[in-house]
Amino acid sequence: MTRLIIALLAIAVFITPSYAESPWLNSNIKGAVTDGYTPSLKDDFYVHVNHEWLSTAQLRPGYSRNSAFNELQDIIDARLKAIMTDPTLSGHDAELVKTLYSLWLDWDSRNEAGLSELKGLVQTLEKVDSLDGLSRYFMTEDSFYHDVNISDFGLGRDNKDSESYNLELAAGSLSLGDAAEYRQMTPNGERTKKMHDSIVTYMFRRLGYSEEEAAKYLASAFAFEKAIAEHMMTLEELYSPDAIDKMYNPLTMDELREKSPVYPFADILEAHSAYSDLMNLQEPEWLKALNELYTEENFAGIKAYLLCKLVGGYITITDEPAYREYQKLSRERYGTTGNKPDDELAVDFVHGRLSGPVSRLYLAKHVPEQAKKDVEEIIRETVKYYKAMLGSESWLSESTRAKAVEKLDAMRLNAAYPDKWVDDSELEIDPEGSLIDALNALKKFSVQKYFYDRLNTKVDHDLWISDVVVANSYYRPSENSINIIAGILGGDFYTPEMSYEEKLGGIGMVIGHEVSHAFDTNGAQFDKTGNVAKWWTDEDYKKFQARADRLIKYFDAMTVTPEGTKYNGSLVQTESIADMAGIKAMLGIAEGREGFDYDKFFRNYARIWKLINTRERNDMILKVDVHALPYLRVNAILQQYEKFHSYYGIKKGDGMYLAPEHRVAVW
């Protein structure tokens, strides 16, 4: 995930949007839209279309969010539950899935196994009493398979050789997720810390430690995290377009040894047989700092950090009292009420751990071949119109336009489900064993299949996905592919019975959005083969950047909480560029159709973004989500387009009005 960008000056011809604040209600916060609040479509299109849903939809027990995506996932999950409990299903996939499902729900066996495995792991780590001992510990299977570490490594794609898998070297995880929280903690960070500390304290208590001992470990671990977080990239920096360049630092094993003389990173990799000619160090500043902090003086802090990480990670996979405690703490953290039923939790768990078998069983029952053909057709049509659209962007030079069209021609179009799967015929789960045994077997299997078997080989593009039962889609810059997953073919997004306009407003917009990621601030840095390369002329890229900067300023000026918090335009820039381009492409398709019903199209676009969530979750999203808030994905995006204004007769003074000179659509 590394990116490249050129620092650019703003271009004077653009006028900065003059919004002081958002004219719309923060309608995604549950309870914000009431019966009495019924704006006209000219003032708040999003609430107007979704009013009934927004004012009546509930958050199910255990959920902090409800949305078009949730409704669709609920349908999928109900089908998955039927599959996982079907006594007539047989075969290897069915056996794996049904076994894991029963093991998760078998509280008696889980209670009996209790914390015994964790106790052993904690004892081993407790015995480590020096920095040298710690270095040796990092070379053990315990550290590797249970992620008890201060550095991380995994499989990636080399930025300059996207056909090859590489070895990515990264910083260890932070309990607060974002390094920025250690510099200035936000209310969201405080909530995360409270939940983390409560989980760790509970688990220590269960292991026989006193409250004071737990508090001491937590304080010591936090001090170490704070010291290292100082030198780590914040989420905002990681998401920023210039991260592509910053995070690309290829190096050899010898160079790693030189760069990390104190912390034995190279020896740890060798101990785990993780070696590649293509290695990349994501955060050199972090590694430099780690070498300064890896001292006997900090030994206690590092060990405390590892212990907290180890015990905290077990709360959801041991016994029932631990799981119930976890649910209680989650309710506080995310503002939810009640618990998700156990059988639904078991479905999620099995889906997450056995995505290949679960996907194949689902496809055999619920996805007709025709659905794949339909989607392929919409993709082809979308790409065709994108070509026309890119070809007519008069602000780009001819050479950049030609390159953009080339990139579009080379794009891999993956629809619904793959024809090839990772071979898991040798995976076994012992029905007589414990849930922990099953998890260990699964971990070993997936590390072998998805890491060791792939390291130092070429990318097999046919294995584009293993989980097709999620309501989602994505663009992958490193292979220039759009991936429209079977799971999203339902609900408000797509049904065979929908009108053509509704399909364009639903799945069409999803496809248009994903295609445009090839040309957003990140995607623009990758060429048609997925390598990071400069294919824009300098002048065109400056113009593009200036357009993106205007879009950032437009979002920066918005207020997005009832208290008037300003939005972070940089964070949501790439996704918003994708939304705008998606709309533009669909409007292009519409133009060629006689009698196109724009009302149906715009309304279904608003419908796919219907969403309510708790205030706690909403606050979190504002910090970590690169997508704009759903009401802005509708209102702030649609108001960029003249067709939307003219079709509904929106005029100055209307909430949805945006003067032409203030519009910021990049494409």
Q: Name the site residues for Zn ion (rule: CB under 5 A).
A: 575, 578
Tell me how far, at minimum, the Cβ of 584 lies from Zn ion, in Å. Answer: 15
Comparing CB distances to Zn ion, the nearer of 517 and 623 is 517
Residue 520 CB, nearest approach to Zn ion (Å): 8
- Can you read off the two tokens belonging to residue 66? 């409800």
Report in angstroms how near the CB of residue 609 gets to Zn ion at its nearest.
13
- CA distances to 149, 407, 420, 459, 472 from 156, rounded to whole Å, are 19, 22, 20, 10, 21
Residue 614 is encoded by which pair of tokens? 């708790």
Instruction: Dig out the tokens for 257 from the structure.
Output: 């040894």
Q: Which is nearer to Zn ion, 376 or 625 (CB)?
A: 625
CA–CA dist 19, 559 (Å, integer): 10
| Number of neighbours of residue 36 by Cβ within 10 angstroms | 6
User: Can you list the alpha helix ranges (DSSP code H) found in 472-614?
Assistant: 500-503, 509-516, 538-556, 569-591, 598-608
Minimum separation from the CB atom of position 476 to Zn ion (A) = 11
- The smaller minimum CB distance to Zn ion, of residues 390 and 578, is found at 578
- Give buried/exposed letters for 212-233 (b at 16+ CB in 10 A, else e): eebeebbebbbebbbbbbebbb
Contact (CB, 8 A) for 256 and 281: yes
Give the sheet arrangement for strand 151-158, strand by strand. 151-158, 161-171, 279-281, 250-251
The nearest distance, CB 636 to Zn ion, in angstroms, is 15
Q: Report the nearest approach of Zn ion to the CB of residue 575 (Å).
A: 5
Element (H, E) at 281: strand 279-281
Angle between helices 68-84 and 342-353 in degrees, nearest 10: 90
**Chain CA centroid to CA 34, Å:** 31
CA 627 from centroid of its chain's CA atoms: 10
Using alpha carbons, select from 638, 554, 609, 629 the residue that is nearest to residue 26. 629
CB of 375 to Zn ion, least distance (A): 17
Closest to Zn ion by CB, 358 vs 518, is 518
- Would you say 429 or 578 has its CB closer to Zn ion? 578
Of 181 and 575, nearer to Zn ion (C-beta) is 575
Nearer to Zn ion, 502 or 575 (CB): 575
Q: At closest approach, how far in Å is the CB of 627 from Zn ion?
A: 7
Q: Using alpha carbons only, what angle is made at residue 321 by residues 316 and 323, rounded to the nearest 5 degrees?
A: 20
- Among 10, 15, 12, smallest CA distance to 545 is for 10
| Smallest distance, Zn ion to C-beta of residue 20, A | 28
CB-count exposure of residue 348 (10 Å: 0-12, 13-18, 19+): middle
Residues ≥6 apart with Cβ < 8 Å to 461: 412, 479, 481
Amino acid at 280: N
Tokens linked to 308: 């907290």
Which amino acid is it at 488? I
First-last CA distance in the chain: 24
Which tokens go with 127?
Answer: 């015995």
CA distance 481 to 410: 9
Q: Which is nearer to Zn ion, 418 or 477 (CB)?
A: 477
Indicate the residue among 197 and 575 with the shorter CB distance to Zn ion.
Answer: 575
CB-CB contact of 418 with 356 (8 Å)? no
Q: State in angstroms the smallest separation of the CB of 267 from Zn ion.
A: 40
Least Å from the CB of residue 626 to Zn ion:
8
CA 86 from chain centre, in angstroms, equals 32
466, 460, 469, 463: which is closest to 490 by C-alpha? 469
Q: Which is nearer to Zn ion, 77 or 625 (CB)?
A: 625
Q: How far is the CB of 606 from Zn ion (least distance, A)?
A: 18
Residue 230 tokens, joined? 């100082």
**Nearer to Zn ion (CB atom), residue 47 or residue 379:** 379
Question: Cα dihedral angle (88, 94, 95, 99), rounded to 10 degrees?
Answer: -100
CB of 593 to Zn ion, least distance (A): 26
- The least distance separating Zn ion from the CB of residue 517, rounded to whole angstroms, comes to 6
Least CB distance from residue 579 to Zn ion, whole Å? 8
Residue 69 has which token pair?
Answer: 């995506």
Considering the complex, state which of residue 319 and residue 575 has its C-beta at the smaller distance from Zn ion.
Answer: 575
If the CB atoms of residues 290 and 580 are measured against Zn ion, the closer one turns out to be 580
Distance CA 66, CA 41 (A): 23
User: Closest Cα partner for 250 from 526, 457, 2?
Assistant: 2
Give the residue with the Cβ less far from Zn ion, 434 or 516.
Answer: 516
Please say which residue, 344 or 575, places its beta carbon nearer to Zn ion: 575
Burial of 284 (0-12, 13-18, 19+ CB in 10 A): middle
Cβ pair 215, 277 in contact under 8 A:
no
Shortest Cβ 38–Zn ion spacing (Å)? 31
Nearer to Zn ion, 322 or 580 (CB): 580
**Amino acid at position 574, single letter:** T
